[in-house]
């Protein structure tokens, strides 16, 4: 693979390791540390490197710190499994270290956006502003689903989770472009390098703990998420993708007017010709909206 076929970052990242609640966590940084850092929170099966295109789209290097969540990227795997409140606790400890005296700006994609908005309601004093990229919660569930969900989870305990193995980076990159047609070949190759690790059997697999593939036995309770959102005092920019496959699964719960009725201080922006990974596919538009939003609040 020629180096000329790979996206070349405009702003080079640097890396550090921190102990967070018993795990070694990788932190990717861009720019110089600032009193009010921007903390970028990646989505499911992603890692901090997936923000490179967005970081590069700003006119000057911003002070960004982006963790690889536990079990993703270069962070340690959690031997006891993964529970959503752990991400809030990890973020709490991370902010103790990088922004102990001033509220931080949280920019999260998908799962990271959900973590950011929940945390902003639980710890409103620690958050200056929130940008949520397609982080609008999950589809509603019913208590009646619990028996089947728990039965399936128990059955999974007797099996071993594994990610699909790809023959090489080119196959992985081709899959990315099928799912994200707005990515260039150079960007897809860059993402393939950052999202995978070598497989013992040859080829590559996702750089993540296969345990993430397991079923969560705890039903998503949207009413609880919305209670946290209502307690959020920070201004929130919710960015939606016009062609988001995930947004469609929520029905009216993802409509701007519904979201605005829940968050006390919410702006909504829709990015045209973009899918769920809008911060990669339309980095320039996203960066411009984020810069304007934060200019008004920090």
Contact 274, 247 (CB under 8 A): no
37 within some domain? yes
* Partners of 269 in beta bridges: 239
User: Do 269 and 193 belong to one domain?
Assistant: no
pLDDT value, residue 1: 46
Beta 23-30 vs 14-20: how paired, if at all? antiparallel
Which residues of the chain are modeled with pLDDT < 70? 1-4, 298
The answer to the question of residue 214 being in a domain is no
- Tell me: do 66 and 100 sit in the same domain: yes
34 and 90 share one domain: yes
Q: For residue range 258-279, what is the model confidence (pLDDT) as tens digits? A: 999 999 999 999 999 999 999 9
Instruction: Count how many domains the chain has.
Output: 2
Q: Which residues contact 207 (CB under 8 A, 6 or more apart)?
A: 47, 72, 73, 74, 194, 195, 196, 197
pLDDT of residue 2: 44
Q: Based on the fold, state whether residues 33 and 64 are members of the same structural domain.
A: yes
Domain of 79, in residue numbers: 3-140+220-295
| CATH code of 30's domain | 3.40.50.1820
Which pLDDT score, from 0 to 100, does residue 296 have? Answer: 79
Do both 68 and 178 map to the same domain? no
pLDDT tens digits along 51-76: 999 999 999 888 999 999 999 999 99
Is 136 found in the same domain as 251?
A: yes
Domain shared by 173 and 99, yes or no: no
- pLDDT at residue 58, as a whole number: 96
Helical H segments across 99-203, by residue range: 111-122, 146-156, 169-179, 185-195
Q: What angle do CA 46, 177, 214 make, to 5 degrees?
A: 40
- Phi and psi at residue 70, to the nearest 5°: -50, 130
| pLDDT reported for residue 3 | 46
Tokens standing for 262? 């829940």
């Amino acid at each position: 693979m020629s180096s000329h076929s790979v996206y070349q970052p405009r702003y080079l990242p640097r890396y550090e390791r921190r102990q967070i609640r018993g795990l070694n966590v990788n932190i990717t940084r861009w720019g110089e540390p600032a009193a009010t850092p921007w903390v970028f929170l990646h989505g499911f099966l992603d890692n901090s490197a997936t923000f490179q295109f967005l970081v590069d789209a700003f006119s000057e290097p911003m002070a960004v710190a982006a963790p690889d969540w536990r079990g993703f990227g270069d962070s340690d795997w959690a031997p006891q499994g993964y529970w959503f409140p752990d991400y809030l606790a990890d973020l709490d400890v991370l902010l103790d270290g990088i922004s102990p005296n001033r509220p931080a700006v949280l920019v999260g994609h998908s799962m990271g956006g959900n973590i950011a908005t929940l945390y902003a309601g639980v710890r409103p004093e620690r958050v200056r502003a929130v940008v949520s990229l397609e982080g609008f919660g999950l589809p509603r569930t019913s208590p009646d689903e619990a028996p089947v969900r728990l039965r399936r989870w128990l059955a999974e305990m007797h099996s071993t989770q594994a990610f699909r193995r790809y023959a090489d980076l080119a196959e992985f990159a081709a899959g990315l472009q099928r799912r994200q047609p707005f990515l260039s070949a150079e960007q897809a190759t860059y993402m393939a390098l950052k999202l995978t690790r070598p497989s013992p059997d040859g080829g590559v697999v996702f750089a993540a703990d296969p345990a993430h593939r397991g079923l969560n036995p705890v039903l998503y309770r949207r009413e609880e998420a919305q209670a946290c959102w209502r307690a959020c005092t920070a201004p929130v920019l919710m960015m939606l993708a016009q062609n988001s496959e995930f947004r469609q699964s929520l029905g009216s719960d993802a409509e701007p007017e519904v979201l605005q009725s829940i968050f006390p201080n919410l702006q909504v922006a829709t990015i045209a010709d973009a899918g769920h990974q809008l911060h990669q596919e339309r980095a320039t538009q996203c960066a411009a909206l984020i810069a304007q939003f934060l200019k008004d609040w920090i």
